A and B are shown apart, each in its own frame.
Chain A
Amino acid sequence: MKNRAGLLLAILCLALSACGKDAGSMTVVTGLGIDGLPEDYQITAEAIQLSHDEEGKENVFLHAAGKSLSDGLDNTVSMTGRPLHCNHTQVVTVGRDLAEQGIHAILEDILTQSRYPASLQMAVCKSAASQVMEIDPVVGDIGSTELETLIQQGAKGCGNPAETVVSFYQDEMEPGLEAVLPFITLRQNGEHTVREIAGTALFRGDKMIAALDRDMSRLLLWMRGRSGGSVTVGGRSVDVKRVVCDIRAEERGAHITLRLKLSLRGNSLEDGLEQSFHREVEEELKLLISRLQELKCDAVGIGKALRCQAPKSWAQAGEDWPEAFSHYPIAVAVQEEWTEHSRTKTASGQGSRHE
Chain B
Amino acid sequence: MSSRNISSPLRGVFLLMIFLLGDMISDSGAKGMPSGWLIYGILAVLAVPAVWVFSRALREGLLFGGGECPASDRAALLLLSAAAVLIAGSELRIFVRFLTANELNQAGDPGNRLLISLVMILILLVGQRNLETAVWLLGPVIMLFFILSFCLTVPQAKWSELLPLAPEGLDSLFSPMVHSLFSVLLLAVYPIALSGEARESRGWQALALSAFCGMSLLCGMAMRNRLILGASALGLFRYPSYAAANAVRHGEVLILCAYVLCQTVRLGIFARFLQAAALRFSYRGKAFFPWGIVLLVNLISLLPFPAGEERTAMAFSLACGGAIVLALLIRTAGARISRME
* Chain A interfacial positions (CB closer than 8 Å to B): 3-4, 6-8, 10-11, 14-15, 17-22, 25, 85, 87-88, 108, 111-112, 114-115, 117-119, 164, 166-167, 169-170, 173-174
Give which listed residue, B106, B115, B134, B244, contacts A7 with CB less than 8 A. B134
Given contacts A118-B228, A173-B232, A174-B232, 12 further A-B contacts (CB under 8 A): A3-B125, A11-B134, A15-B257, A17-B107, A19-B253, A108-B236, A114-B242, A117-B249, A118-B243, A119-B249, A167-B230, A170-B158
- Is there an interface contact between A170 and B122, defined as CB atoms closer than 8 Å? no
Would B125 and A166 count as touching, CB distance under 8 A?
no
Question: Which of A4, A85, A169 contacts B130, CB < 8 Å?
Answer: A4
B138–A114 touching, CB < 8 Å:
no
B122 near A7: Cβ-Cβ < 8 Å? yes
Identify whether the interface residues of A are mostly helix, strand, loop, or mixed: helix
Task: Please tell me which one of the listed residues B104, B230, B260 contacts residue A166 in the complex, with CB atoms under 8 A apart.
Answer: B230
* CB neighbours of A118 from chain B (8 A): 228-229, 243-244, 246-247
Q: Which of A4, A10, A166 contacts B118 (CB 8 A)?
A: A10
Smallest CB–CB gap between A81 and chain B, Å? 16
Min CB distance, B40 to chain A, in Å? Answer: 21
Interface residues of B in 249-277 (CB under 8 A from A): 249, 252-253, 256-257, 260-261, 264-265
Contact across chains for B101 and A11 when beta carbons are under 8 A apart: no
A112 to B123 CA separation, bound complex (whole angstroms): 35
Q: Mind listing 6 A-B residue pairs with CB under 8 Å?
A: A3-B126, A4-B126, A7-B123, A115-B102, A166-B229, A167-B158
Is A20 a contact partner of B137 (Cβ separation < 8 A)?
Answer: no
What is the predominant secondary structure among interface residues of chain B facing chain A? helix
| Cross-chain pair count, CB within 8 angstroms | 114
* Interface residues on chain B, number (Cβ under 8 Å): 50
Chain A proximity mask over B94-122: 1 for CB below 8 Å, otherwise 0: 00000101111111000000011011001
Q: Does B174 make an interface contact (CB < 8 A)? A: no
* Any A CB within 8 A of the CB of B146: no
Q: Contacts A15-B260, A166-B233, A169-B230; is A22 near B119 (CB within 8 Å)?
A: no
Q: Is B305 an interface residue (CB 8 A)?
A: no
In angstroms, Cα B243 to Cα A87, docked, is: 11
Determine the residue in chain A with the shortest Cβ distance to B232.
Answer: A173
Instruction: Output the least CB separation between A249 and chain B (Å).
Output: 16
Q: A10-B122, A118-B228, A166-B247 are in contact. Are A4 and B133 (CB under 8 A)?
A: yes
Nearest A residue to B252 by beta-carbon distance?
Answer: A117
With contact pairs A4-B133, A11-B264, A173-B233 given, residues A18 and B256 touching in the complex (Cβ less than 8 Å): yes
- State the CA gap A278–B232 with chains docked (Å): 38
Is B70 on the interface with A (CB-CB < 8 A)?
A: no
Q: Is B239 an interface residue (CB 8 A)?
A: yes
Residues on the A chain within 8 Å of B119, using CB? 10-11, 14
Q: Which of B228, B238, B265 contacts A114 (CB 8 A)?
A: B238
Contacts of A115 on B, CB cut-off 8 Å?
A: 102-103
* B281 close to A (CB within 8 Å): no
Taking the complex as formed, is B60 at the interface, i.e. its CB lies under 8 A from any CB of chain A? Answer: no
- Inter-chain contact A18/B236, CB cutoff 8 Å: no
Do residues A14 and B134 form an inter-chain contact, with CB atoms below 8 A?
Answer: no
Alpha-carbon distance A22/B107, docked complex (angstroms): 11
A8 contacts B261, CB within 8 Å? no
- The contact of A21 among B105, B239, B244, by CB within 8 Å, is B105
Whether B243 contacts A8 by the Cβ 8 Å rule is no
* B261 and A15 contact, CB distance less than 8 A: yes
A85 and B233 in contact, given A7-B122, A11-B264, A117-B249 (Cβ under 8 angstroms)? no
* Cβ A17 vs Cβ B105 within 8 A: yes
Asked if B248 lies at the interface with its beta carbon under 8 angstroms from chain A, I say yes
Query: B243 to A18, Cβ gap below 8 A?
Result: no
CB distance from A5 to the nearest CB of B (A): 9
Identify which of A7, A14, A25, A111 contacts B237 (C-beta below 8 A): A111
**CA–CA, A8 to B244, complex, Å?**
28
A112: chain B residues at CB < 8 Å are 236-238
Q: Smallest distance from the beta carbon of A86 to chain B beta carbons, Å?
A: 9
Chain A residue with the shortest CB-CB distance to B129 = A4
Contact A20 B238 (CB under 8 A): no
Residues of A within 8 A of B99 (CB): 18
Given A85-B103, A164-B247, A169-B233, A8 and B122 touching (CB < 8 A)? Answer: no
Determine if B131 is an interface residue (Cβ-Cβ < 8 Å): yes
Known: A4-B134, A166-B247. A18 touches B232 (CB 8 A): no
With both beta carbons as reference points, the residue of chain A lying nearest to B249 in the complex is identified as A119
For B134, give its contact among A8, A108, A111 (CB under 8 Å): A8
For A10, what are the chain B residues with a Cβ–Cβ distance below 8 Å? 118-119, 122
